[in-house]
Structure 1
Amino acid sequence: MNFFQAIILAIAQGVSELFPISSVAHSVIIPYLFGWKLSPFFLKTNFLEFVVMMHIGTTISLIVYFRKDWKKILKSLFNKKTSKRDLALIVIGTIPAIILGAIFEQTITNAFSDVIVASIFLIFNGLLLFFGEQTKKRGNKSIEDLKGWQALVIGCFQSLALIPGFSRSGSSITAGFWMGLSNEESARFSMLLSTPMVAGAATLEIPKLIKNHVPGLLSLSLIGGIVAGLAAFLSVYILMHWFNHKKNNTMLPFAIYCIVIGIGVLASKAI
């Protein structure tokens, strides 16, 4: 992997991890579109360090952007009089992805992480975004209004991201719509749920990173982490601004993008 490839992948990771367009699908589709011949050995071993750094960069960006929320949550841990409801809802919403990820993630990733299948599920992701918003409630709830079971449902939908092509944020935001959250609150809860998941993914891979560390790859990985972090911060800023000011058809551009890209890649493979 050269410098140009690292920058492109880092930007794509930072954007697609938070925009509802599936970072896993883009990690499969982008090398195909650019005609990169990345060896299976490199992707299985050496690429790990780069992925971990990108996840760390994305996590830092989410924590910085939602620092007020996380500061409030952390303070609640040390103050008996402060409500811990936000923390409890995040924990509940995170449980499904942790359990299902531990059981199925490797099997699903190995079975479905090819460009054709990723494109097919990217199309399904677009359809979920489109029809999910069309059938949503007229939401006006805040995160604090959620019940425990509703947070669990949102967490279950977040787990769809285990399938390459489905977006973590797209699935959880759509479920938030169905649970009656307002546009901005659904996006905010999705981002708060994403933070421990992205951080956890990086943390779980660190022992493998130490074991498989490749001399000379660290500097490229650090650059990738910084670029992914900057792209993620800009993405979450744009996304939250979009959801705060747009009340209707908030998911339509992302739905169209996913469907068009998915169909386009499938068409190119058929030619």
Structure 2
Amino acid sequence: MIGWMEAVVLGLLQGLTEFLPISSSAHIRVVSAFLGWDDPGAAFTAVIQLGTEAAVLIYFRKELWEIISTWTRSLFKPELRDHFAARMGWYVIVGTIPIGVLGLVLKDQIEGAFRDLRLVGTTLIVFGIILWFADRTARNKLTLEKHLNVTHAVVYGFAQALALIPGVSRSGGTITAGLLLDYRREAAAKYSFLLAIPAVLASGLLELAEIGNGDAPDWGPTILATVISFIVGYAAVAWFLRYISTHRFTGFVIYRILLGVFVILAVSLGWIPVQG
């Protein structure tokens, strides 16, 4: 079971890593294994992500209000349907469908086989290399306002769905897709964060019923981890958006590869168990 100290550490990890392209779920899984803690499980991970998602809601509150209000009014006022905020509402909805469908279909694998540390280490390496390739070849020129469309939203959506496997990274997968589509780094990251909102909220709320039952952690540590992830996550998203406006993702790529190699080596040598 997750205790108070574990909750503090895992909440910090969630807040620090959710918005970086290094996979928060992988870090929670790997750190728990190295410290000899029980695997906190998919339910705990999904619920504490509500904290970091609350940070996104507050950070982008003005844009979100404009999107929601304009999209809602456009349902009754045809003249608003070409407004970017109204279109963005549809792009977020369309982009959420892949992870929603695959999340339900693959629920058993998400809670079991996908948490295999050999798979986690491999995805850290492979998708780190893909991120490096995308960052090096992207023309970094498209903007959301002028170029985002339904096709691109679907591509983003399937990239986000890959994050059902710990190690891929929700932000890393969607940002990589955006770079491959030639979006600017900041634009790719912004849409990545907005696109995650429905999926993370739905996943976290659905998993709330699991907290305190069976092998899932109790409510107290879960709430503490969620609050910590919110506070740390708000600072992390603000820093990350400033950082990528002037820097490439090379540092994150190197980190992912080194961590992935270390995880696979640790499992191979028996330092940590394959499953929690």
Q: Does 1:75 align with 2:61?
A: no
Tell me which residue corresponds to 1:183.
Answer: 185
Contact 1:28 1:114 in 2 (8 A): no
Q: Give the 5 Å matches for 1:123-202.
A: 123-202=125-204
Inter-partner Cα distance in structure 2 for 1:134 and 1:178: 10
Inter-partner Cα distance in structure 1 for 2:145 and 2:203: 24
Task: Rate the CA distance shift 1:244–1:20 in 2: closer, same or farther, 3 A.
Answer: same
Q: Give the 5 Å matches for 1:1-271.
A: 1-36=2-37, 38=38, 43=40, 48=43, 50-51=44-45, 53-76=47-70, 77-78=72-73, 80=77, 81-82=79-80, 83=83, 84-209=86-211, 212=213, 217-246=218-247, 250-271=248-269
Q: Could you give the per-residue CA deviations for residues 171-229 of structure 1, whole angstroms, max 9, x where no partner exists?
A: 1011111222111111100000111111111121133348x399x93332221111011
Contact 1:53 1:224 in 2 (8 A): no
Inter-partner Cα distance in structure 1 for 2:262 and 2:218: 33
Inter-partner Cα distance in structure 1 for 2:190 and 2:161: 17
Task: Rate the CA distance shift 1:240–1:138 in 2: closer, same or farther, 3 A.
Answer: closer
Query: How much has 1:52 moved relative to structure 2?
Result: 5.1
Inter-partner Cα distance in structure 1 for 2:190 and 2:133: 21
Give the TM-score normalised by the residue count of structure 2: 0.86
Task: Rate the CA distance shift 1:55–1:269 in 2: closer, same or farther, 3 A.
Answer: closer
Contact 2:46 2:200 in 1 (8 A): no
Inter-partner Cα distance in structure 2 for 1:143 and 1:258: 31
Contact 2:21 2:172 in 1 (8 A): yes
Query: How much has 1:141 moved relative to structure 2?
Result: 2.2
Inter-partner Cα distance in structure 1 for 2:142 and 2:94: 21
Determine what percentage of the aligned residue pairs are the same residue.
29
Q: Could you give the per-residue CA deviations for residues 132-168 of structure 1, whole angstroms, max 9, x where no partner exists?
A: 2122234232244212111111111111101221111
CA RMSD for the aligned pairs? 2.2
Quick one: which amino acid aligns to residue 229 of structure 2? A
Quick one: which amino acid aligns to residue 57 of structure 1? G
Give the TM-score normalised by the residue count of structure 1: 0.87
Contact 1:21 1:258 in 2 (8 A): yes
Q: Could you give the per-residue CA deviations for residues 102-133 of structure 1, whole angstroms, max 9, x where no partner exists?
A: 11242244113122221111111211211121
- Please say which of residues 2-11 and 106-115 is displaced more in the overlay: 106-115
Misfit runs of 4+, over 3 Å:
50-53, 207-210
Provide the secondary structure at the position in 1 that maps to 2:141: coil
